Amino acid sequence: MYYEKFLFTRNQKRDFTAFIRPAGLTNTDISTISSAVSHVQNISELTPAWPALYCFPIGEYIMLMRHYSSRRTHAGRGIAVLEGIGVRQSLKRHFSMAVPHFLAYQHDLLAVADTVDDIEALTMQNSTEFEWPDVQAEDVVEGAPDDDDLIGAFVERLTQDRLFVPFTQDGRLMLLSALADQRLPTLYFAFGTNADVLARLHQANITVDVVSYFNTTVPSLRNRETNEITSELTDYVPSLPDRPMRQPGPDIDEAPPDVPESMQTPRQMARSVPRDPADDPLAQYSTEEDPMLTLREMARRQREAQADSEAEESQNVFEWLGGLISRLLGRK
């Protein structure tokens, strides 16, 4: 069994490009993938230690990828990395058995950028084939919340419902739990995403079974057509911190726990202060209020926003003219 690697990012010489790609992945396939994840505008909270995770079929492949900020910038903007593996769809059954293993050890198996000596010197190339690991059944979901009832309901309602999980350690363990459940077929997922990404995938006839928006808070089942909740863990209490401790490295801004405050940098001190959820740049992606938007609904919202902006601009012009006329007439 074999898989091929995928690395999509940019450097100072080239715009966003699939520098390493599975040989059978077309430019159209790559454009679909990149246009979908580009709807995640703020990538600053996504790191190699805590990436967004995607798995879905496209073209000849099933792609398993992670999405995060490279901590590099271009023209003042952060550069994203989308990396992982592609497996031929003919190997779907074997792939399904190994996905929990790949996710549990993603830092070793999906970190394609870490295998590149100099990203600035990288040129486009097709991936060679890598031998599939001999994955044995193992417990990769130890410590997961008690989600047996929800997973059981998901098994029964797979064709009608999607599983929504929090974008937390608990949620990732729930995802692994569903992927490892032998009652379920191959599952496709978007863990750490928003409604616009799913709408773009839907436009390309790509559907996912497990979803985690950035601020999903309660595990639930939602109808695939209406997005209405059909079942949820009403007594769910988070059992793990929202994010794992980040691994040491150049992309980490937080100071280790044993560093005195007096020795922390201003940026580390700022990050140690709890933030108001209202200030969270990812809070706009609400799982409770934002269903997966259709393209028509997206266009309608864009037209409304443009109309509101034009109305506000016109009002400002009228106020300025009124003030000017008042001054010319000597009024205060």
Q: What is the DSSP code string of 106-149?
A: HHHHT--GGG-S-GGG---EEPPEEEPP-PPP----TT--S-HH
Average pLDDT (11-33) is: 95
pLDDT at 32 over 90: yes
Q: Give the other-Cβ count within 10 Å of 294's Cβ.
A: 13
pLDDT at 254 over 50: no
> Residue 47 has what pLDDT?
94
Q: Assess if residue 247 is contained within a domain.
A: no
pLDDT band (50, 70, 90) for residue 233: confident
With CA atoms as reference, report the closest residue to 170 among 218, 103, 240, 106. Answer: 240
Query: Can you give the residue range of the structural domain that contains 317?
Result: 295-332
pLDDT at 172 over 60: yes
Q: Assess if residue 250 is contained within a domain.
A: no
| Domain boundary pick from 204, 232, 260 | 232
Task: Please state which of the ranges 16-20, 249-253, 300-304 shows the lowest mean pLDDT.
Answer: 249-253
Where residue 243 falls (left for φ over 0; alpha for ψ -120 to 50; beta otherwise) is: beta
Total domains present in the chain: 2
What span, in angstroms and rounded, lies between the C-alpha atoms of 296 and 298? Answer: 5
> Residue 242 has what pLDDT?
84
Contacts of 218 (CB under 8 A, 6+ apart): 166, 232, 233, 234, 236
Q: Assess if residue 255 is contained within a domain.
A: no
Q: Assess if residue 249 is contained within a domain.
A: no
| ∠ CA 112-117-119, rounded to 5° | 75
Q: What share of the chain is helix, strand, coil (3-state, %, to 5)?
A: 35, 20, 45
> Are residues 8 and 142 both part of a single domain?
yes
> Residue 292 has what pLDDT?
47
Written as one string, the DSSP assignment of 15-81 is SSEEEEE-TT--HHHHHHHHHHHTT----TT-BTTB-EEEEEEETTEEEEEEEEEEEEEETTEEEEE
pLDDT band (50, 70, 90) for residue 315: low
> Are residues 130 and 217 both part of a single domain?
yes
> Are residues 211 and 314 both part of a single domain?
no
> Are residues 49 and 192 both part of a single domain?
yes
> Are residues 179 and 302 both part of a single domain?
no
> Are residues 184 and 77 both part of a single domain?
yes
Bigger pLDDT: 102 or 9?
9
What span, in angstroms and rounded, lies between the C-alpha atoms of 115 and 99? Answer: 21
What span, in angstroms and rounded, lies between the C-alpha atoms of 144 and 1? Answer: 30
State what percent of residues in the chain have pLDDT above 70: 69
Residue 123 amino acid letter: T
Q: Assess if residue 281 is contained within a domain.
A: no
> Are residues 46 and 138 both part of a single domain?
yes
Q: Which of 88-119 are b and which e, b meaning 16 or more Cβ less than 10 Å from the residue's Cβ?
A: beebeeebbebbbbbbbebeebbbbbeebeeb
- C-beta separation of 284 from 193 below 8 A: no
DSSP reduced 3-state for 11: coil
Q: Assess if residue 70 is contained within a domain.
A: yes
Residue 172 has phi, psi (to 5 degrees) of -65, -35
pLDDT tens per residue across span 154-165: 999 999 999 999
Mean pLDDT computed over every residue of the chain: 79
> Residue 17 has what pLDDT?
95
| ∠ CA 71-77-80, rounded to 5° | 50
| Domain boundary pick from 207, 232, 257 | 232
> Are residues 13 and 85 both part of a single domain?
yes
pLDDT tens per residue across span 278-287: 433 333 333 3
> Are residues 302 and 174 both part of a single domain?
no
